[in-house]
Amino acid sequence: MKKHLLRLLHVERVTIPVGDHRIRLLILRSRESGEKPGPAVLWVHGGGYQSGSAKDVFATRALALPLKYGALLVSPEYRLSRKHPYPAALHDCYSALLWLRDHAEEYGARSDQIMVGGESAGGGMAAALSLLSRDRGEVAVAFQMPLYPMLDDRPTSSSRDNHAPNWNTKRNVKAWKRYLRESFGTALVSPYAAPARAADLRGLPPCYTFVGDIEPFYAETADYVRRLREAGVEADLDVYPDWFHAYDLFFPAKKIVREAVARFEERYLYAAAHYFAPQKK
Write out pLDDT tens, residues 5-51: 667 899 999 999 999 999 999 999 998 766 689 999 999 999 999 99
12: enclosing H helix or E strand? strand 9-18
Long-range contacts of 87-94 (CB under 8 A, 24+ apart): 87/190, 87/192, 87/193, 89/49, 89/125, 89/179, 90/125, 90/128, 90/129, 90/132, 90/192, 90/193, 91/18, 91/19, 92/18, 92/23, 93/42, 93/44, 93/125, 93/128, 93/129, 94/129, 94/132, 94/133
Q: Which CATH number fits domain 3-274: 3.40.190.10, 3.40.640.10, 3.40.50.1820, 3.30.465.10?
A: 3.40.50.1820
- In the chain, what percentage of residues exceed pLDDT 70? 97
Task: Identify the three-state secondary structure at position 85.
Answer: coil
Q: Name every residue whose Cβ is closer than 8 Å to that of residue 93 and which is 6 or more positions away in sequence.
A: 42, 44, 76, 78, 125, 128, 129
What type of residue sits at position 80? L
In this predicted model, what pLDDT tens digit does every residue of 230-261 receive, in sequence order?
999 999 999 999 999 999 999 999 999 999 99
